[in-house]
């Protein structure tokens, strides 16, 4: 996703009523997919790993076919 696409999506998510009241929207410094995945896997139980592994696989699948766009990560 380009920086412009990211900013547009970020603003839309920040204004989403459901996320404002039940979720979390934030920005972090840019990082690789591997850094993101390793950072989250250190903090979750083995049973919760798929909450992060599955979105990472979806990102890689999209990249392999030339796609882009946001990937929603839902965790508890």
Task: Judge whether residue 76 has pLDDT over 70.
Answer: no
Q: What is the model's pTM?
A: 0.65
Name the more confident of 58 and 27. 58
Contact 9, 70 (CB under 8 A): yes
4 shares its domain with 21 = yes
3-class DSSP state of 66: coil
74 shares its domain with 40 = yes
Task: Judge whether residue 7 has pLDDT over 90.
Answer: no
Q: What is the mean pLDDT of residues 3-32?
A: 80
DSSP state, 23?
S
47 shares its domain with 19 = no
74 shares its domain with 51 = yes
CB atoms within 10 A of CB 55: 19
User: For the chain, how many structural domains are there in total?
Assistant: 2
72 shares its domain with 44 = yes
pLDDT single digits (tens) 51-71: 899 999 999 999 899 987 778
The token pair that represents 44 in the structure block = 């979750």
Range of the structural domain that residue 9 is part of:
1-30
Contact 37, 54 (CB under 8 A): no
């Amino acid at each position: 996703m380009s920086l412009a696409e990211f900013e547009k999506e970020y603003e839309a998510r920040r204004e989403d009523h459901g996320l404002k009241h039940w979720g979390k929207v934030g920005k972090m410094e840019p990082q690789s997919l591997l850094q993101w995945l390793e950072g989250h896997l250190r903090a979750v139980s083995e049973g919760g790993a798929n909450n992060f592994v599955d979105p990472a696989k979806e990102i890689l699948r999209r990249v392999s076919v030339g796609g882009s766009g946001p990937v929603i990560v839902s965790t508890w």
